[in-house]
């Protein structure tokens, strides 16, 4: 049994590394186009990644379908994100552009679509390497498992187990009875949105390279930029188009599919999307009122407010102004939005809006029962009674999120980081947001963090992307019992 499971894990990871090597080759092509000095490190990294993947694949080269149960699915998904980041960091390190600690941080940030960075001057980095950096955003946005079930032919009954372990939110909707077809639909929608975003950014004045990179960052809710000043380096028109690119990243892919199928009633009945757009509208109005002054004008206040609200709630992390200079209530509102995130089943991080809604409904139910002790007051979502197992899961994720956040803040402060920076960094990493607060907020990044803090931050990004439970269950003794 152990040997069979080991070979299954080896086989999946091997094929995944071969896929990663192929993605690195795309960056080699970009490096050749721009005649950069990153051709060799990217090519060497791709070769190393391919060889290791091939070796892991060789002992079981037969094409039989493999089945993965739920527990093995959790283990494989957790290993996938770590292994991908370990090898994805090679181009930075082999090219001597950063230390391996910084390389791993940057790569984990890319794959988890956090967008936090430790590179001080991204504009001097070679184009091929920067393209690989943004490509990690794109890969992580759709989800590595979605790519696995779409491109690796031998994943059989285990595809749904892996899909459930990775996809964010309480619901894991299948758009087709066949999980592979579901993966294909999700991938098609995702690539189509990236193509559309790239087109309108290019028409608006971005170079084709910048347009593609920023589309990767926007639709993946990744937040990496090719410019040190992020979105502030571009015109107001481009900033509005980036807002339009970020908004879909916070929407459940299932609802996008319903729109394409003209099933608008299903979208209209969805409670979560109404709250999503309601939060954007209300938060934008409040922050606009808080930061408006006659010297800058209403349009700039509105654009900056809308941009940062959308960027934060979708956990994208692009920045068009130094929000650390805003009034304290406005900054605190952004801080709260970092916890919530956007919709379940989207590319975004955070707790997810559906969990926030259910937490409020649970609180309302408990308060009502304290008054009407004998009443039956079930929690309902979209006029349906929510199962107790779902409510328990929501509460567990919330508690794990809160405890992990507090531990992260304590660890960062113990390493000499200021409380504001530690608090902002912890929620940014755990919610896969990107920007921090204090000295790490606005156009600054986390380069000043000590080495140990960067590894802790990488672990928190990993935990946040897999929504804690998938990872924490691996540390339960019962998980490893046959």
Higher pLDDT: 174 or 280? It is 280
pLDDT at 177 over 70: no
What pLDDT score was predicted for residue 61?
47
Q: How many CB atoms lie within 10 A of CB 154?
A: 15
Burial of 108 (0-12, 13-18, 19+ CB in 10 A): buried
Q: Which residues contact 268 (CB under 8 A, 6 or more apart)?
A: none
Could you read off the pLDDT of 406-459 as tens digits, one per residue?
Answer: 999 999 999 999 999 999 999 999 999 988 998 998 899 999 999 999 999 999
* Distance set, CA 342 to CA 243, 274, 279, 392 (Å): 14, 11, 10, 21
Could you read off the pLDDT of 27-67 as tens digits, one per residue?
Answer: 999 999 999 899 999 999 999 999 999 988 765 545 555 56
User: Which whole number is the average pLDDT over 280-297?
Assistant: 92
pLDDT at 143 over 80: no
What pLDDT score was predicted for residue 76?
81
Q: How many CB atoms lie within 10 A of CB 153?
A: 11
Q: What is the dihedral of CA 274, 279, 284, 287, to 10 degrees?
A: 160
pLDDT at 225 over 70: yes
What pLDDT score was predicted for residue 172?
47
Supply 205's token pair.
Answer: 């004045």
pLDDT at 328 over 60: yes
The percentage of residues in the chain with a pLDDT greater than 70, rounded to a whole number, is 88
What pLDDT score was predicted for residue 448?
92
SS3 state at 381? strand
pLDDT at 270 over 70: yes
Q: Tell me how long the chain is.
A: 482
pLDDT at 188 over 60: yes
The percentage of residues in the chain with a pLDDT greater than 90, rounded to a whole number, is 56
pLDDT at 242 over 80: yes
Q: How confident is the model at residue 152 (pLDDT cuts 50, 70, 90)?
A: low
What pLDDT score was predicted for residue 178?
55
Could you read off the pLDDT of 78-108 as tens digits, one per residue?
Answer: 888 899 999 999 999 999 999 999 999 999 9
User: Which whole number is the average pLDDT over 124-131?
Assistant: 95
Helix ranges, 169-314 (H): 179-203, 208-219, 236-246, 253-260, 264-268, 271-291, 298-313
Q: How confident is the model at residue 266 (pLDDT cuts 50, 70, 90)?
A: confident
Q: Are 470 and 166 in contact (CB under 8 A)?
A: yes
What pLDDT score was predicted for residue 68?
65
pLDDT at 121 over 90: yes
Q: How confident is the model at residue 12 (pLDDT cuts 50, 70, 90)?
A: confident
pLDDT at 356 over 70: yes
The string of DSSP letters for 44-97 reads HHHHHHHHHHHHHHGGG-----B---HHHHHHHHHHHHHHHHHHHTHHHHHTTS
The closest alpha carbon to 464, from 433, 440, 430, belongs to: 430
User: Which whole number is the average pLDDT over 390-404?
Assistant: 90
Supply 34's token pair.
Answer: 């721009």
What pLDDT score was predicted for residue 167?
54
């Amino acid at each position: 049994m152990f040997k069979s499971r080991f070979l299954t894990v080896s086989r999946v990871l091997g094929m995944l590394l071969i896929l990663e090597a192929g993605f690195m080759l795309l960056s080699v092509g970009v490096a050749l186009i721009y005649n950069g000095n990153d051709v060799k490190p990217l090519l060497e990294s791709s070769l190393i990644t391919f060889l290791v993947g091939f070796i892991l694949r060789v002992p079981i080269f037969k094409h039989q379908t493999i089945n993965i149960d739920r527990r093995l699915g959790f283990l494989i998904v957790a290993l996938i994100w770590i292994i991908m980041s370990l090898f994805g960091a090679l181009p930075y390190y082999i090219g001597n552009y950063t230390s391996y600690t910084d390389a791993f941080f940057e790569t984990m940030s890319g794959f988890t679509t956090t967008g936090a960075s430790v590179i001080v001057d991204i504009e001097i980095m070679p184009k091929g390497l920067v393209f690989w950096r943004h490509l990690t955003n794109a890969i992580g946005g759709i989800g590595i498992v979605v790519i696995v079930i779409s491109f690796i032919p031998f994943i059989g009954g285990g595809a749904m187990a892996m899909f459930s372990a990775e996809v964010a939110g309480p619901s894991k909707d299948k758009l087709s009875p066949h999980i592979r077809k579901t993966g294909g639909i999700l991938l098609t929608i995702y690539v189509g949105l990236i193509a559309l975003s790239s087109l309108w950014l290019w028409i608006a004045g971005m170079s084709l390279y910048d347009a593609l990179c920023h589309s990767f960052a926007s639709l993946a809710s990744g937040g990496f930029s090719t410019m040190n000043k992020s979105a502030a380096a571009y015109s107001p028109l481009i900033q509005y188009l980036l807002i339009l690119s970020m908004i879909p990243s916070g929407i459940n892919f299932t609802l996008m599919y319903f729109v394409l199928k003209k099933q608008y009633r299903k979208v209209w009945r969805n409670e979560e999307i109404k709250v999503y757009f309601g939060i954007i509208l209300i938060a934008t109005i409040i922050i606009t009122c808080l930061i408006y002054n006659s010297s800058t004008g209403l349009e700039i206040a509105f654009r900056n407010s809308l941009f940062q609200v959308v960027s934060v709630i979708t956990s994208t992390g692009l920045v068009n102004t130094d929000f650390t200079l805003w009034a304290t209530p406005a900054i605190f509102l952004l801080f709260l939005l970092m916890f919530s995130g956007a919709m379940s089943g989207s590319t975004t991080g955070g707790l997810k809006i559906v969990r926030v809604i259910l937490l409020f409904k649970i609180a309302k139910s408990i308060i009502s029962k304290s008054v009407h002790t004998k009443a039956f007051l079930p929690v309902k979502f979209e006029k349906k009674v929510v199962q107790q197992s779902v409510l328990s899961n929501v509460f567990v994720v919330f508690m794990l999120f809160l405890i992990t956040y507090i531990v992260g803040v304590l660890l960062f402060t113990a390493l000499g980081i200021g409380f504001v920076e530690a608090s902002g960094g912890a929620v940014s990493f755990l919610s896969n947001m990107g920007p921090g607060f204090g000295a790490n907020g606005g156009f600054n990044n986390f380069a000043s963090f000590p080495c140990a803090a960067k590894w802790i931050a990488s672990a928190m990004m990993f935990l946040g992307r897999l929504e804690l439970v998938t990872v924490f269950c691996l540390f339960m003794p019962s998980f490893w019992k046959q």
